[in-house]
Amino acid sequence: MNTEVLRSYLPLFTEAFLLTVKIGWIGIALSFLIGFVCAFIRYFRIPVLTGIVKGYVELFRNTPLLIQLFFIYYGLPAVGIRVSAEVCGAVGLGLLGGSYMTESIRSGLEAVPYIQTESALSLGMTKTALFVHVILPQALSISVPALVANLIFLLKETSVFSAISLMDLMFTAKDLIGLYYNTTESLVLLVLFYILMLLPVSIAGSLIEKKARFKMFGD
């Protein structure tokens, strides 16, 4: 392995890393937003919308991100909607992630026993107050492991962004390999940058998990 090559590739990879992280996190923020809204719709069994959410979750959970991105990137212009590759990546990741987040948050909400609602009601609490103070905090601490797993999964999914010509880490690596045949160096940097992206998330996730679940479940 040529360290000189590594050094010369570093700026390109750093740039790609920052872009990947940026789009990744925007997509993840979007996925949380979608996840909460859709999980609430299903939990409260809001008519009509519940059906739409079910359809959305099945559609996006059961198709690969790559195909979703192709549809958004190449399909939307066909109907006159043109979006940049960056917006497309973030929205695609958000929609895919949203379907996973919906189910994870919903499973937490459904896991809180109904008697918790009844005991809060019998204290005179309104439905809103009991949801905010009793149900949601418990649901989230149940969901945390699933949410962290989703987060890591989504960050790894960013590697398909290259398919819609986003200059992300994967794109940069493939490009450099194609141009200069320094396969080993490019792949080493690719792996290192992905670890750099994910390891802190993984560690932070474990800490959050520990903190969020201690109250209810102990060590």
Shortest Å, Cβ 151 to other proteins: 22
Shortest Å, Cβ 216 to other proteins: 5
User: Which C-beta is closer to other proteins: that of 91 or that of 112?
Assistant: 112
**217 interacts with other proteins by CB under 8 A:** yes
**143 interacts with other proteins by CB under 8 A:** no
- In whole angstroms, give the CA distance from residue 53 to residue 34: 10
Shortest Å, Cβ 104 to other proteins: 18
Judged by CB under 8 A, the chain residues 101 through 140 that form the site for other proteins are 113, 115-116, 118-126, 129, 133-134, 137-138
Q: How many residues bind other proteins (CB under 8 A)?
A: 22
Judged by CB under 8 A, the chain residues 31 through 50 that form the site for other proteins are none
CA atoms within 13 A on the CB side of 6: 12
User: Which C-beta is closer to other proteins: that of 7 or that of 215?
Assistant: 215
Single-letter amino acid, residue 206: S
Shortest Å, Cβ 111 to other proteins: 12
Shortest Å, Cβ 112 to other proteins: 9
- In whole angstroms, give the CA distance from residue 156 to residue 89: 13
User: Which C-beta is closer to other proteins: that of 47 or that of 124?
Assistant: 124
User: Which C-beta is closer to other proteins: that of 134 or that of 166?
Assistant: 134
Nearest CA among 98, 94, 91 for reference residue 53 = 98
Cβ neighbours of residue 29 closer than 8 Å, sequence gap 6 or more: 94
- Residue whose pair of structure tokens reads 């069994």 in the numeric block: 45
3-state secondary structure of 62: coil
- The Cα-based distances of 10 to 5, 25, 94, 128 in angstroms read 9, 22, 29, 52
User: Which C-beta is closer to other proteins: that of 33 or that of 125?
Assistant: 125
Nearest CA among 136, 149, 138 for reference residue 206 = 149
Shortest Å, Cβ 44 to other proteins: 17
Rg (CA), the chain: 21
Residues that bind other proteins in the complex, under the rule CB under 8 A? 113, 115-116, 118-126, 129, 133-134, 137-138, 141, 215-218
